[in-house]
Amino acid sequence: MSNRRKFIGSSITGLAGLTLLPAINTFASENNAYQRQTTGKPKLRFALASDIHYGQEGTNSEFHTTNLIKWLNEDHTKNHFDLVIINGDLVHNRIDLLPEIKKSYLDKLSVPYYTIPGNHDMANAQIWRNVFGYDDKYSFEHGDIAFVLANTADTNGDYMCPDNAFIKSALDKLTDKKIVFAVLHVPPVQWLEAEKKTFLNCPETVALLHAYPNVKAVFHGHDHLLDGVRYTNKLPHFFDSHIGGDWGTDYRGYRVVEIADDNSIYTYQVNASQNPVLNNNKF
């Protein structure tokens, strides 16, 4: 996996039409303290975490899941979260563990949380509704900011493009919102040749997201080695590393997004497990 990381890191900056925002290593230091770049209280502050892989054999998934809840609750106590999004792969090929991770871990978050399936959750709308009380694709609003979340895999764990009819219907209803964020576990675009087997190729989805000016960013999980930003045209796609699993970045962490009163958006990756490879972006 380290070779794959090297390939991605060395190849991505040379791609035509792909721009990376500057990386600034000003993240978690001792006691998970980091310097926030916004002043005053944001009108919305939320976190995204993905790829817990609870129940994966050969990993200490209980430890990693416990850490996630601890890290997010500590961050909430210090800085306040309005909500948390868990962006897929909550469990590892064990849909029977979804009720357990909800009751024993996620329900212990001190803030409202939202989830969406990943390919290892092997879930459809009925399964997700039975566990979490809502479908595998939905939208929700927080004042003049809205979120559209959709499933990108089937019950066999095979990747599938999200339901574009649903996304269009949701976005049509949210045109009055200042900011809309899309949340898709598996990215709908293959930036690199090597990603043909790991990412989706959904040009209709990408075109749809580009068609609405208030869609400001898309958030993905899935690739545990990615923790930065990529672009389709001017639309940023952000990744958030991983929490569990047996591969990925050396550290385990999550992404924070803060929206100021003037609707400027600041996002940064939190190095929750205290290893020193991070980035931040303002867009």
Q: Is the pLDDT of residue 17 over 90?
A: no
Q: How many helices (H) and strands (E) in the chain?
A: 6, 12
Q: Phi and psi for 197 in degrees, rounded to 5? A: -95, -10
Q: Tell me which residue of 235, 202, 205, 98 sits closest to 155, measured CA to CA.
A: 98
What is the average pLDDT value for the chain, to the nearest integer? 87
pLDDT of residue 275: 63
- pTM > 0.75: yes or no: yes
Q: Is the pLDDT of residue 1 over 60?
A: no
Q: Per residue in 164-194, pLDDT tens?
A: 999 999 999 999 999 999 999 999 999 999 9
Q: Per residue in 41-61, pLDDT tens?
A: 899 999 999 999 999 999 999
Place of tokens 């609870």: 54
On whether the CB atoms of residues 69 and 62 are closer than 8 A, the answer is no
The mean-pLDDT minimum among 13-17, 78-82, 83-87, 189-193 falls in: 13-17
- Look up residue 63 and give its amino acid: F
CA distances from 158 to 99, 186, 236, 238 (A): 22, 11, 25, 22
